[in-house]
Amino acid sequence: MNIIDRRLNPKGKSLANRQRFLRRAREQIRKAVREASSGRSITDIDGGEGVSIPMDGLHEPSFRRAAQGGVRDAVVPGNKEFVPGDTIAKPPQQGGAGGGSDGSPDGGGEDSFHFVLSRDEFLDLFLEDLELPDLEKTNLTKTENVAFSRAGLSVTGSPSNLNLVRTMRNSLSRRIALKRPKPAEMAELQAAIVELEESGDNPEMLSELRLQYQDLLTKSRRVPYIDPVDVRYNRFQAVPKPISQAVMFCLMDVSGSMTEHMKDLAKRFYMLLYLFLTRRYRHVDIVFIRHTHTAKEVDEETFFYSTETGGTVVSTALAEMTRIVKARYSPSDWNIYAAQASDGDNTSSDNPATLNLLYDSILPVCQYFAYIEVGAEYKDWLGRESDLWRAYKSVTADNMAMRKVRSRAQIFPVFRDLFSREGRHVEA
């Protein structure tokens, strides 16, 4: 009898099947992911997601008998009171949905299928849905830390990095090339010599074999088993790594003129930015700052769902952000990103102050500052620029970008636009 411990076998044996399944159900899952992502809060996009997808295309048909009709006989246990000839009322047919066996071949109305996507699968599908540009090319990271990664082999190194396999392979090929005598061959020869020595006949043969043996011995001494030439070490290379923490500032105007629709657009944009950052950084903080004529740091719930009345003074939000950066997020330790969403209203007299703040204290510390002007869907924006837009347009910093968004459909293109390599400059 054998007992084998399989517990340490590599996990995810069915991963290949799962990938095939996800590929098969790609369309349905993408749709489900799209729906799921609209209902979630920003930070909890991180967890896995249970999704339900319709069974179309995932159904495995076979010839089987219909559930109804015909004559059926069954034997059932648990008789308490029946005698032969008794009748029992048939259980009621499951109305509607249950009897849907005679539908169309590509029929809907079937059970949906519920399962859990892992975080990575969810994000992959989500980001794929966004069609984000190649993020690697976006030069957003500061490099200060280094990490070591494998970089081939070298002939020098510390003994702990010795690559045994490669070393032995080199040694073997060298021994073959230089015809180093094999130990088995030598042992054989020696055995023959011993045999001849014992028997004593054929002394010529004996001396010849001795000479041969001597030859082989010299040769095997000359060609060592392992030569320094053979030795290889694993080489490691220092690779710069981005600072692994980032903070994301969400600034939003919550004055009365911001409608639910506008906030929804803003939320979607923040969500994407958050996702993007979490893929780049190990740790991402989010700071929500909302403002009317005063600004305040709040939690996510308040940020999106509570309204406030008041005027609109954008500089207060920027000042608040500056204060928080100074207090908690030192630019030398943190990658700072900011996204501002507004309908573009600002008290005209506040514009110079806003610009000053932006130039002096925000842009120098930020990796990237994005301004999203959200508008009502129906409004015609052509030809009319808001106060804030006009003010921001004059900014010519590289790490500042601004876009207008009117409908949900624009969010993804605009996001892509902002984070693609080109198009970081202002355009209408």
Partner 1 sequence: MSKRSHDKLLFTGADWTFDKVMRVHDAVAEIAHGELGLDTYPNQIEVITAEQMLDAYSSIGMPLMYKHWSFGKHFAADESLYRRGMRGLAYEIVINSSPCISYIMEENSMAMQTLVIAHAAFGHNHFFKNNALFKQWTDAKGILDYLEFAKTYILHAEERHGARAVERVLDAAHALMGHGVHKYPRKRPFDLAEDKRRQRERADWFQQNYNDLWRTVPRSENAFPEDSEAAERKRALGLPEENILYFLEKSAPLLAPWQREILRIVRNIAQYFYPQKQTKVMNEGCATMVHYTIANRLHDKGLIDDGTLMEILHSHTNVVFQPGFDDPRFSGINPYALGFAMMEDIKRICENPSDEDRAWFPDFAGINDAWGTLRHAWADFRDESFILQFLSPNVMRKLRLFHLHDQAEAEDMVVKAIHDERGYRDVRKTLAKSYDIGALEPDIQVVDVDLTGDRRLILHHRVADGIMLDSLEALRTLRHLANLWGYPVRLVEVDGKYDDVLKVHDDVEPD
The 73-102 contact track toward partner 1, x by CB under 8 A, reads xxxxxxxx-xxxxxxxxx----------xx
CA pseudo-torsion sign 37, 40, 45, 51: negative
Q: For partner 1, which residue of 64, 179, 221, 384 counts as binding (CB under 8 A)?
A: 64
Please, which residue, 62 or 348, has the CB nearer to partner 1?
A: 62
| 21 is a site residue for partner 1 (CB under 8 A) | yes
Minimum distance from CB of 94 to partner 1 (Å)? 15
Minimum distance from CB of 67 to partner 1 (Å)? 7
Per-residue tokens: 203: 């002394």
| 200 is a site residue for partner 1 (CB under 8 A) | no
Q: For partner 1, which residue of 39, 44, 66, 134 counts as binding (CB under 8 A)?
A: 66
Minimum distance from CB of 83 to partner 1 (Å)? 6
Q: For partner 1, which residue of 71, 97, 164, 165 counts as binding (CB under 8 A)?
A: 71
Stretch that binds partner 1, among 12-20, 246-254, 288-296, 325-333 (CB under 8 A): 12-20
| 9 is a site residue for partner 1 (CB under 8 A) | yes
Determine the angle formed by the axes of helices 408-419 and 119-130, rounding to 10 degrees. Answer: 90
Vertex 426: Cα angle to 421 and 427 (nearest 5): 100
Per-residue tokens: 355: 């610009």
Stretch that binds partner 1, among 57-65, 122-130, 353-361, 374-382 (CB under 8 A): 57-65
Q: For partner 1, which residue of 14, 41, 145, 149 counts as binding (CB under 8 A)?
A: 14
Minimum distance from CB of 109 to partner 1 (Å)? 11
Q: For 221, how many CA atoms within 13 A lie in the half-sphere containing its CB? A: 5
# of chain residues touching partner 1 (CB under 8 A): 64
Residues 6+ apart with CB under 8 A from 53: 25, 28, 29, 31, 32, 112, 113
Residue 103, SS3? coil
Stretch that binds partner 1, among 33-41, 110-118, 271-279, 281-289 (CB under 8 A): 110-118
Please, which residue, 70 or 95, has the CB nearer to partner 1?
A: 70
Q: For partner 1, which residue of 39, 92, 96, 105 counts as binding (CB under 8 A)?
A: 105
Minimum distance from CB of 15 to partner 1 (Å)? 9
Minimum distance from CB of 39 to partner 1 (Å)? 19
CA atoms of 49 and 117, how far apart (whole Å): 5
Please, which residue, 6 or 179, has the CB nearer to partner 1?
A: 6
Which pairing describes strands 295-298 and 335-342: parallel, antiparallel, or unpaired? Answer: unpaired
Stretch that binds partner 1, among 69-77, 178-186, 235-243, 317-325 (CB under 8 A): 69-77
Please, which residue, 16 or 97, has the CB nearer to partner 1?
A: 16
Minimum distance from CB of 423 to partner 1 (Å)? 37
Touching partner 1, residues 112-141 (CB under 8 A): 113-116
Long-range contact set of residues 381-389: C-beta below 8 Å, sequence gap at least 24 = 381/406, 385/344, 386/343, 386/344, 386/345, 386/346, 387/344, 387/345, 387/346, 387/347, 387/348, 387/351, 388/314, 388/342, 388/344, 388/345, 388/346, 388/351, 388/354, 389/344
For residues 137 and 221, the answer to whether their CB atoms sit within 8 Å is no
Longest Cα separation, the chain: 120
CA atoms of 410 and 262, how far apart (whole Å): 12
Residues 6+ apart with CB under 8 A from 89: none
Per-residue tokens: 97: 């949905």
**What CA dihedral angle connects 232, 234, 237 and 243, to 10 degrees?**
-170
The 24-43 contact track toward partner 1, x by CB under 8 A, reads xx------------------
Residues 6+ apart with CB under 8 A from 15: none
Residue at 209: amino acid letter: L
| 427 is a site residue for partner 1 (CB under 8 A) | no
Stretch that binds partner 1, among 37-45, 60-68, 261-269, 417-425 (CB under 8 A): 60-68
| 169 is a site residue for partner 1 (CB under 8 A) | no
For residues 220 and 184, the answer to whether their CB atoms sit within 8 Å is no
Stretch that binds partner 1, among 11-19, 33-41, 238-246, 392-400 (CB under 8 A): 11-19
CA atoms of 240 and 188, how far apart (whole Å): 57
Minimum distance from CB of 163 to partner 1 (Å)? 30
Q: For partner 1, which residue of 38, 41, 68, 202 counts as binding (CB under 8 A)?
A: 68
Binding stretches for partner 1 (CB under 8 A): 1-7, 9, 11, 13-14, 16-25, 50, 58-80, 82-90, 101-105, 107, 113-116
